[in-house]
Structure 1
């Protein structure tokens, strides 16, 4: 299952041309993403964070016209390319400017309730979900810049080979785990969380890898509630597919998660 939260939303994204240049048009973009491309992106590019060029914008319609990035990135590339992790680390290490617009991330109880209503999990699984939800504050209290949605569908590769992160409507502050969890396919497992946390520690030596691995695991569950909320609110046809997949995989995964968190 994909964790591509932005592509589950209501914005219309299309490939078109701008003065003869191939481009991507997104409308209506969120306030967060619209302001990101105007005010944050130039600073990020200077810091070596590759972002599509802004070709044009229309404040009245919240339309962004962006550089077209020709090559997609696979989930395998996302997990293994060092330049992906380097880009994410540069975002996390960039100083926060409180004048920027951010999405306000929280673990909303009503989203958990909605997810449980849809999934109809066994009672023991429900109990674990409700227990893990209490740990959620660790994801949102850190004042670290995050993309908020780093799954494979939001990355591209230029002809020159450099990786580009191009969907910023969930730009915010929070735990690095929020940007690391999507690098792991599906729900992942404990060894996946430990592996990615240790890789991140290599490029960010002050990181507590053990604590980060646990936060990545917790984040995976939070993403489930976000995915189901967005799909159900936007009446997406994929909702039933996601429900079936989660219903099949979550009970065993939740038991392992409970043991991992202690």
Structure 2
């Protein structure tokens, strides 16, 4: 029967499977921060997903917000996000930066294949020796979209987060959204402290999540909480079990 249904309704089956995957990420295997979204996403405002990937955050921000706008430069991921059918979603196939223009999205090699989920505009994050191929992409500034009201911004761009923030500061100052930013020392040395200070100057308070609890960013210990030894490949199938902290919440 299952084979018959798949043969008769392939598109509908793929849609259902993709949505089940989104909920599995939320409930079981995905980043813990997904479970905290209802506390920090403003339902009557726009949410922004910078670095949409396969659409996990886009999917859940869509159900929690008035509207979600996703910025994702990789056309393959854009197709996957569109297939989720987020009714209040809008997708911009563009990479956000501190300036408009064009750039090369660098996709690294991984175990004989490629890792598009780790692609970056940063040469430090994906150096030439690790880069398998590039995609020519358009760049834009978030501020140039003049979005309002904005209640939440998630940024996951593999080491390019400071450039994204530089092009979003007018929006952040005006709208005061809560921010969830992936920041890793291996991709952007010193980035966490620079971003923390930049946002502290705007009276933002920083936090991270550990063992199911929210901790002040002052308790973050780089050597312990971002130990590269804890990046076991097997754990990527269950991100919630990975003892590695790379997401930081900044609350206005």
TM-score, normalized by length of structure 2? 0.29
> Which is bigger in relative contact order (C-alpha 8 A, separation at least 6)?
1
TM-score, normalized by length of structure 1? 0.28
